[in-house]
Amino acid sequence: MTGDLGRRIAYHRERRGLTREELAERAAMAPGYIQYVEEHPDTIATGALTRLAGALGISPGELLGGAADRPPGPGVARLTPVLEKLDRDECLRLIAPGGIGRVAFAGPDGPTVLPVNYKLHEGALVFRTAQGGQMDRTLRTGLEGVEVKIGFEVDQIDEARREGWSVLVQGPAHLVEQEELDAVMGAGVSPWAGGTRELYIRILPHQITGRRIRGL
């Protein structure tokens, strides 16, 4: 049975695109030990924890879950940060794996930003929400031919290296009609919030911009 520490090790390893063998080499450990700590709920020695965290580019505290209840990026910026624009192709490459993004729109109660799980499916962003919720009420304008344009933001922060990127997608959002539902369900969007969230929404990316911050 995998414990919280094992899940965090596996998550950060996969986020960096490392195999167990590659992480083991970086941390000067046996690959079998990496497999063991990922798959078992046991605690590990302080020295091993420090080496694993260093190999993953994070702090031991983050690996233990000490950063779970605070917003990302509280540390100081690099001394010489560089902000660069990303072209459309690079933006699409970064967001293509899917994950969690933030949808921003003028809701019935005012400006609203909500986190949602999304997938990139056939050139559009797809996510799920609840029937009768703020997004549902916003899109059901009752006016034929009226498009509701919204923003959708995805980002990634690497706190250890003080680097990161952000992609902003802007375009019209549409409720997925019944005849299109089977195809869109193939995107495999599964919301973390759970509950009955069977209303599928698709965003057509008319405009995509992005920025990356890094050091010299």
Q: How do residues 47-75 score in pLDDT, each as one tens digit? A: 899 999 889 888 888 788 766 566 666 66
Higher pLDDT, 30 or 2: 30
Every domain of the chain and the residues it spans? 4-63, 81-215
Mean pLDDT check: name the lowest of 123-127, 129-133, 187-191: 187-191
Token pair in block for residue 145:
């031919």
Cα(176)–Cα(103) distance, integer angstroms: 16
> In 118-172, where does DSSP find H-type helix?
134-139
Fold of 81-215: Pnp Oxidase; Chain A (2.30.110)
Nearest to 152 by CA among 137, 170, 134: 170
Looking at residue 66, what is its pLDDT?
Answer: 65
User: Check: CATH 1.10.260.40 for 4-63?
Assistant: yes
Beta strands in the chain (DSSP E): 81-86, 99-107, 110-121, 124-129, 148-158, 163-175, 199-203, 207-215
Point out which residues pair with 17 in neighbouring strands. none
The DSSP call for residue 76 is P
Cα(46)–Cα(57) distance, integer angstroms: 16
- Residue whose tokens read 């369900």: 185
